[in-house]
Amino acid sequence: MNATGATEGDGPLAGRHIVLGVTGGIAAYKAIELCRRLIDAGAYVAPVLTEGAQRFVGAATFSALASEPAQSSLFDGPHPIPHTRLGQRTDLVLVAPATARVLSDLTTGRSDDLLVATLLATEAPVMVAPAMHTEMWRHPSVVDNLALLRRRGVVIVDPESGRLAGGDVGEGRLAGPERIVDRAIELLTAGSEPAALPAGARPLPAASGDVGMGWRGRRVLVSAGGTREAIDPVRFLGNRSTGKQGHALAEEAAQLGAAVTLVTTSELPTSPAIERRQVTSAAEMADAVLEAAPSMDLVIMAAAVADFTPAAVADCKLKKADGAPSIELVPTQDILAELGRRKPASQVLVGFAAETDDVEANAAAKLERKGADLLVVNDVGAPGVGFGHDTNEVLILGHSGERISVPLTDKSAVAARVLECAGALAAARAASS
């Protein structure tokens, strides 16, 4: 029974304990609705408010809505070590809104309040929903802190674009409470779905109301890296792709519980849960991707595949003394277009495009031409974007007029947004079928 007298136990979060951390931003008022939704989903909610949060919302409000009274002090409460008590008995620590300060404190381990002490004293999953002005969200220190937290396994619910404090409009608005609850349900109920799949492809989400996408057991194929087309035993034709974005997509999907196959040319490491297939050339990439794709629920073609390959490969190293060679090039197989032609009705296909001019127009044309469901495009000539960087800035386009801009952020955040869009598309299809 919660503080209002309501009985807990019904809903997808029944029996789950959640510490709800609220920090000092204007979006703190939205945490009230978030608290209510978590209770409605069946969770036992223990609110923890920072000193800054109480400048925007009152502890009495959360005490009335939550499962136990709100706490805010390391020293003045009824328990001598409240942070360990909270951290040890919870299934999830959820911070919403998460300010730039709490993100920084969590990365460095600087603990001077009850919330950060609880974050450091738990072995439960941690989820943060940042909210701040656009300039702060894009600041390199915030970008770096978020990238580090993701590598440590913290789940980030990225903010949205919209109206901010002071009448400004831009990226940094706290994700909607329903979206945050859905991510919590995904994280805490991932193991409740059977891992085995029936024969054939299925839609990605478990199509059931507002209970999240259900990635557990869904099959995801990702391609990554730039192909190398041999000229002779020493030289090759290639591009600047490092595979970082494709690998980030694979890691994010695996973290959500999907069964991930990664076809990559990159030497970047991968988590043990990911099935990895190493390739080099466009032909090898085509063979591996087209073989695996038919049984997949989601295919993300993030690799930078060469458009042309030498018609013949020299058996010996070409010598400079012999003069400049004449190399005949022939087109490689268009893997994305072939995937589009073969795509099962329930499969979601996502393509990537690296452009330098007329970015959106070229991407829209490619989306139609290739038969993909979504196309992710970036301007690789822009600072900090695309090849070789840890950051990216993309535009996600869909056939129904979807146009989602993801401002410059780390590639894991881009991956999360791409997967959200793919999951939403699959959910809409499942609901209409």
Cα(306)–Cα(279) distance, integer angstroms: 13
Cα(50)–Cα(117) distance, integer angstroms: 11
Instruction: Give the pLDDT score at 80.
Output: 60
Q: Are strands 308-310 and 259-264 parallel, antiparallel or unpaired?
A: unpaired
Instruction: Give the pLDDT score at 9.
Output: 55
Half-sphere exposure for 241 (CA within 13 Å, toward CB): 27
For the whole model, what pTM was predicted? 0.58
Question: Which residues make beta-bridge pairs with 170?
Answer: 162
Instruction: Give the pLDDT score at 88.
Output: 86
Instruction: Give the pLDDT score at 96.
Output: 94
Query: Which residue among 239, 362, 378, 392 is the active-site one?
Result: 239
What are the structure tokens assigned to 231, written together?
């000229």
- For residue 392, indicate whether it is catalytic: no
For residues 79 and 52, the answer to whether their CB atoms sit within 8 Å is no
Instruction: Give the pLDDT score at 271.
Output: 84
Question: At 404, phi and psi to the nearest 5?
Answer: -115, 115
pLDDT in tens, the chain (433 residues): 444 444 455 789 998 999 999 999 899 999 999 999 999 999 999 999 999 999 999 999 999 999 999 998 888 766 667 888 898 889 999 999 999 999 999 999 988 899 999 999 999 999 999 999 888 888 989 988 988 898 888 999 988 878 788 778 788 889 999 999 998 998 888 644 433 333 333 334 433 333 334 577 789 999 999 999 999 999 999 999 999 999 999 998 988 889 999 999 999 988 888 999 999 999 999 999 999 999 999 999 999 999 999 999 999 999 988 888 899 999 999 999 999 999 999 999 999 999 989 999 999 999 999 999 999 999 988 888 878 888 899 999 998 888 898 888 888 889 989 998 998 888 888 777 6
Instruction: Give the pLDDT score at 433.
Output: 66
Instruction: Give the pLDDT score at 248.
Output: 93
Instruction: Give the pLDDT score at 3.
Output: 44
Instruction: Give the pLDDT score at 79.
Output: 66
Instruction: Give the pLDDT score at 360.
Output: 92
Instruction: Give the pLDDT score at 384.
Output: 83
Give 263's contacts (C-beta < 8 A, 6+ positions apart): 221, 222, 223, 224, 277, 279, 285, 288, 289, 292, 303
Other C-beta atoms closer than 10 Å to the C-beta of 313 total 15
Instruction: Give the pLDDT score at 7.
Output: 42
Domains and CATH numbers, the chain: 17-189 (3.40.50.1950), 197-432 (3.40.50.10300)
Other C-beta atoms closer than 10 Å to the C-beta of 409 total 26
Q: What is the DSSP letter of 323?
A: -
